[in-house]
Structure 1
């Protein structure tokens, strides 16, 4: 009985598992922000002093820079968004890492995977 077709299939499965494990924390936090934006954020209304909103900034920061850099960027942005801040346009710088942002906003590190 043949479990995998092709000689590199076991390595391919391991690589896909590695990609999943590497992107899981990032995608988990992205899912949290997406739920926040859909359910909680409409209750507050448009109160953010910056563009994009703090949740939009956090989403882009996580997508572009991952958990280790994106979370501190998001926390710093939320701390700056207060009644004494003038606000303004504050966009996330694009990462040089090869990432693919899929249709729902989740991230894949596999550069061979096309956008869906």
Structure 2
């Protein structure tokens, strides 16, 4: 395994977990996100753009903003 692959492993694991959520849990909940892209897609984009730690922090912050009292809208990572 190359050094770069090892460095990307945390990001790949996080993205894999979100993909599992999208595939198996999200369809049961229905469309509830107030933003575009959805919070899970934002999380994946943030992890890809900023890395595992900063991307996770940004993704969690976005999920915290996704509630009925926030207007939502377009918010790219």
**Short-chain TM bin:** over 0.9
TM-superposed deviation, 1:36: 0.6
Query: What is the TM-score when the length of structure 1 is the normalising length?
Result: 0.64
- Structure with the bigger RCO (C-alpha within 8 Å, sep 6+) is 2
1:43 pairs with 25, 28, 39, which one?
28
Larger fraction in helix:
2
Q: In the alignment, what sits opposite 1:20? A: 5
Matched positions, count:
77
Where do 5+ consecutive residues of structure 2 fail to align? none
Q: Matched residue of 2:51: which SS?
A: helix
Q: Considering only CA atoms, is the larger Rg found in Structure 1 or Structure 2?
A: 1
TM-superposed deviation, 1:41: 0.6
Q: In the alignment, what sits opposite 1:83? A: 68
Where do 5+ consecutive residues of structure 1 fail to align? 1-15, 93-116
Distance in 1 between residues matched to 2:65 and 2:59, nearest whole Å: 10
Counterpart mapping for 1:1-116 below 5 A? 17-92=2-77
- The alignment yields a C-alpha RMSD, in angstroms, of 0.9
Q: Which runs of 4+ in 1 moved over 6 A?
A: none
